[in-house]
Each structure stands twice: as C-alpha cells, then as structure tokens.
C-alpha cells in the first residue's frame, strides 16, 4: 500500500520534528501534516481525512483522549504516543491499536507504524477505534485511582541499558535536543526534551530552576546569593547552578515559607 496520509499531533515542535524524521523513512507515506493541540488536531482530521494519526496523550488544552472522542465515524488508525506507566501500557497491549512510549525508540516506532499500515489496509479502523475507546475508558478509570508511580530512567551506556532510580539523580540539564542526566560521578544522554520530561516528574521531588535545568530537591545542599539579586544552588556533587531569573521569585517565596 502506498500514498497514505499521516497526522502527527504533539504540542512540542521538537517532538513533532523527531517523529516526522522517522516517518520520512516510510516509503508508503505520501503526506504528513502536523497539529500542536487538540482543537487543531480535530480540525485537520476533518479537513484532510488522515489514514493514520500519531496522537500524543498529554497535551495542554485537551488530551489525546478528547481528540479520540471527536474523531469521525469513519476514523483513521490511531497510534498513541504515551509516557504512561507499565500497568497502563499493559492495557494498551490488550487493544488492537498500538502505542509508542516516550522517548521514542526507532525500531519500536517502525513496528507500530507497520501495524497501523496493516490496519488501514484491512479497512478495520472502525472496529479498531471501538476497541480502543473501550480500552481508554477502562484505562482512565484505573488511572484515576492510581497513585503516582515513581519514574525510573533507562539510559544507554557502552552498548548496554542502565536503570537509573530517581533518588540517584542530581539534576537534568538540557543538551541540544536531548537531556543530560547527572548522577554522582557520571552523566548520561537521555532521549527526551526537558519540557516533555518535566511533565512526567513529581514536582514534590524535582524542581525546575532554569529553562535548561531541573534539579532533584533531595540533592540540593544549599542556596546562596549571587550578584544582582540572583541565586545559586549548590548540589550534593558540588556543582553550583545559577537559578534563572524567571524561577528566582518562586524559589525565594518557597524559602520564605519554610519554617
């Protein structure tokens, strides 16, 4: 099958660019459109009638579930892009429509896209969407009563994948299109943007202090003044990080509220 139309829905321009680069390797895709939020996604779906929608779940102004509810009766094949935990992912595995986890692994992406292509070829989108809606309803109920699971991070090091527990992390630092994850005595490149990562982190455990830096609260040793009313945080590994001007007032307010 050739000549399919895809719609990429993600609020992050960087994430859309990465997905578009992966899609460009598929010779059976003829047209790719993008949407940055739920309303734009619904409008484009009605205008271009995509064969496949790559749909981010977590977006401001309406999540991927709300887009799903507004798709037409002759729907496209839907592939969710998700950062949900493993229990939620098992619910997706029981569905006929695929999912991709962030950060996106190219091999997993290509398998999901091939599955979506086969769905389109079999003209089974309506059945697929019905099954997915049932799965989504169960999933949302389960997530409503689920306590927040502690994130864990898998990084690639010397050809192997290494698990990093949250309590080992000192800070996340933006590194071009990725994030550099710092632990004591080492750092690793993590394939996700800082903005996307921040949404998944527990704000009780992590704090953004700069547009390019998120720190773990438990690794913060002290905060000291810097010239011109600025602040510098000192971390458990000895690193000293300047607090961005946008974040200084919030941190000062937090200090004032401390006993």
pLDDT at 147: 42
Selection from 48, 31, 16, 56 nearest residue 199 by Cα = 56
pLDDT tens track for 49-75: 899 999 887 776 666 777 777 776 667
Instruction: Determine which helix (DSSP H) or strand (DSSP E) holds 136, and give its type and residue range.
Output: helix 125-144
Strands 160-164 vs 169-175: parallel, antiparallel or unpaired: unpaired
Cβ–Cβ under 8 Å, residues 135 and 80: no
CB neighbours of 38 closer than 8 A, spacing ≥ 6? 9, 59, 61, 62, 63, 64, 66, 67, 70
The backbone region for 121, taken as left when phi is positive above 0, alpha when psi lies in -120 to 50, beta otherwise, is alpha
Cα–Cα distances (Å) from 188 to 83, 153, 192, 233, in that order, read 20, 10, 12, 21
Q: Is the pLDDT of residue 4 over 90?
A: yes
pLDDT-derived band at 96 (thresholds 50, 70, 90) equals: very low
Q: What is the pTM of this model?
A: 0.56
Q: Is the pLDDT of residue 10 over 50?
A: yes
Q: What distance in Å separates the CA atoms of residue 176 and residue 193, rounded to the nearest whole number?
A: 9
Q: Is the pLDDT of residue 43 over 70?
A: yes
The CATH number assigned to the domain with range 153-257 reads 2.40.50.1020
Break the chain into its structural domains and give their ranges: 4-144, 153-257
Spelled out in words, what is the top-level CATH class assigned to the domain 4-144? Answer: alpha beta
pLDDT-derived band at 250 (thresholds 50, 70, 90) equals: confident
């Amino acid at each position: 099958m050739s000549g399919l139309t895809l719609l990429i829905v993600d609020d992050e321009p960087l994430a859309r660019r990465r997905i578009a680069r992966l899609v460009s390797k598929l010779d059976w895709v003829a047209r790719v459109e993008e949407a940055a939020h739920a309303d734009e996604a619904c409008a484009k779906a009605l205008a271009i009638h995509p064969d496949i929608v790559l749909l981010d779940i977590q977006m401001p102004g309406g999540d991927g579930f709300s887009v799903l509810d507004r798709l037409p009766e002759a729907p496209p094949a839907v592939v969710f892009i998700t950062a949900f935990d493993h229990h939620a992912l098992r619910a997706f595995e029981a569905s006929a429509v695929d999912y991709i986890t962030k950060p996106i692994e190219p091999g997993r992406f290509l398998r999901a896209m091939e599955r979506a292509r086969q769905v389109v070829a079999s003209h089974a989108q309506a059945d697929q969407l019905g099954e997915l809606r049932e799965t989504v309803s169960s999933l949302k109920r389960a997530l409503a009563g689920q306590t927040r699971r502690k994130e864990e991070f898998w990084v690639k090091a010397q050809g192997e994948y290494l698990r990093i527990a949250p309590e080992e992390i000192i800070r996340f630092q933006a590194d071009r299109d990725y994030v550099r994850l710092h632990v004591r005595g080492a750092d690793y490149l993590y394939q996700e943007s800082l903005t996307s990562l921040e949404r998944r982190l527990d704000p009780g455990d992590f704090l953004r202090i700069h547009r390019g830096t998120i720190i773990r609260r438990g690794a913060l040793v002290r905060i000291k003044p810097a010239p011109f009313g600025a602040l510098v945080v000192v971390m458990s590994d000895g690193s000293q990080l300047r607090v961005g001007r946008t974040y200084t007032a919030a941190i000062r307010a937090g200090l004032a509220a401390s006993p």
